[in-house]
Structure 1
Amino acid sequence: MSALPSELAAWTYQGNAWTSATDLSNAQDVPVTLGQTADATLHPTPEMDFPVAAEKPGTNEDFGGLAKITVKKAGTYRVALGDDAWIDIISEGKALPSSAHAHGPACSTIHKMVDFQLVPGHYILQLAGSPTDKMPVLVTRLP
């Protein structure tokens, strides 16, 4: 088995955890630590008040969640998930366009990766349509 690329090396350590928020006002209280994988707890879709309609919100049997991302340095940021879910990064009430999509490396348990071009500021990570209520999440800046 080959090693993960350096920007994904934190994937192998999953000692952190957070419970996502169900609405925008509470998302401010769920900070994502950049460069650290966390086991995220999500909520049933009917409990969610998504600030932006997800392109694939899932069904009432699926799960979603919100959390806050703070960026201090401009660059490409990757969101990696251990399961399937729709990923949005929200700024000023709008979903930002993604710059790349990929599956995780074959040597990993990463299911999905989506990249975004971000500048310094505060953002909301929105996950929707997950078939499970818990999944590993990593948000990291690419070199």
Structure 2
Amino acid sequence: MILAALLLAQAAAPACPTTPAALPAQLAGWRTSGDDLASGKAVTLDTWDPRTVRMLDVPLPQRPGRAANRAFRIKTSGTYGIALDQKGWIDLYRLRETTPIASTAHGHGPACSGIRKIVRFALTPGEYQVVVGGLDSPRAKLLLVSDAK
């Protein structure tokens, strides 16, 4: 009986189309690779085991699993999101600080977009460090999303 219910639930889940759906303008960079989070393009990072790595000025995630980090610069005040392709914890810090910035919202990306979550922050001009923890994959894809209209 339980197996039948699981199979029915699995069959009812909508399949994603082979052609990806259009993304809103603020997420358009998700499908373009870049090296700099502030470029508006997605950045794919190698993840590492925080139990075996010690880095100066980078707070280590407290969640089990792999981690990734990247510094970036914000030039204009506003609300920005960090989009992630997998489950994980997104923490944001001013560069060389150890107190995380409080998030203002959490959400998901559009269905079938490959964006698992987006965490938003109110930021002012300056340098920041995103630290993502609790990852399962050897690589993580991130995008800095500007909510500016």
Q: How does 1:85-124 map to 2 (within 5 A)?
A: 85-91=88-94, 92-124=97-129
Q: Specify every segment of 5 or more residues in structure 2 that has no aligned partner in the other structure, as ranges.
A: 1-19
Letter in 2 for 1:57: R
1:32 paired to 2:37: yes
CA shift digits 1:32-60 (9 cap, x unpaired): 33411011111013124474464x512xx
CA shift digits 1:116-140 (9 cap, x unpaired): 0000011111111101120211012
CA contact (8 A) 1:48 1:64 kept: no
**Aligned positions, number:** 125
Helix, strand or coil: the match of 1:46? coil
Match of 1:134 among 131, 136, 139: 139
The offset of 1:111, in angstroms, is 0.5
- Give the alignment's TM-score, normalised by structure 2: 0.75
The offset of 1:83, in angstroms, is 0.8
Letter in 2 for 1:106: A
- Which residue does the alignment assign to 1:57? 63
Structure with the bigger percentage of strand = 1
Q: Specify every segment of 5 or more residues in structure 1 that has no aligned partner in the other structure, as ranges.
A: 18-30
- Give the alignment's TM-score, normalised by structure 1: 0.78
Identity of aligned residues (%): 29
1:9 paired to 2:21: no
Provide the C-alpha distance between the structure 2 equivalents of 1:99 and 1:76, rounded to a whole number of angstroms.
8
Structure with the bigger percentage of helix = 2
Letter in 1 for 2:63: P
Deviates more, 1:91-100 or 1:71-80: 91-100
